[in-house]
Amino acid sequence: MNPKKIIEKLEHELSHFLISEITKSNPEKRGSSDVYKYKGLDLIADPKSKAKEKTVSIRIGPLEAEFKINDGTKQSGALSPEDERLVMLWLGMSENNYHLKAIFSHEETRFVPNIIPFDLEEFYANPY
């Protein structure tokens, strides 16, 4: 699947999760400007990253923090304490974690030539 589509889907799901959690205790907040900041949040991930520890950055309004994908802990940056707690909770959900890891999975494609040299038939006949 295309990493950009996965990121867009995860942004949408994270914003809905944050809004539902913030308004759970006080449903009147749903129409307030407090939850409007979650509509424009950004989830930033570099699918071509060669780093051993894969991370994702989440920007909510002017604040941004970077979280490790494997364990959901914050690596750098800062969000509001409530937002950080909810983002770590969201990252810990298995479905979200699976989709985040899918962004960084690289399938290697092996080149198979159209014309196979006769002395290399064994090598190219069974490419895997």
Distance CA 16, CA 10 (A): 10
More confidently predicted of 90 and 117? 90
63-68 and 74-78 beta bridge pairing: antiparallel
Say which amino acid occupies 102.
A
Whether 105 shows a pLDDT value over 80: the answer reads: no
Distances (CA, A) of 39 to 12, 13, 35, 112: 8, 11, 7, 46
Pair of tokens at residue 6: 């996965």
Q: Quick check: helix, strand or coil at residue 60?
A: strand
Instruction: Give the residue-averaged pLDDT of 115-122.
Output: 68
Whether 108 shows a pLDDT value over 60: the answer reads: no
Side by side, the strands of the sheet bearing 63-68 are 42-44, 55-60, 63-68, 74-78
pTM of the model: 0.74
Reported as a single tens digit per residue, the pLDDT across 6-49 is 888 999 999 989 888 888 887 777 777 777 788 888 998 888 87
Instruction: Give the residue-averaged pLDDT of 116-123.
Output: 68
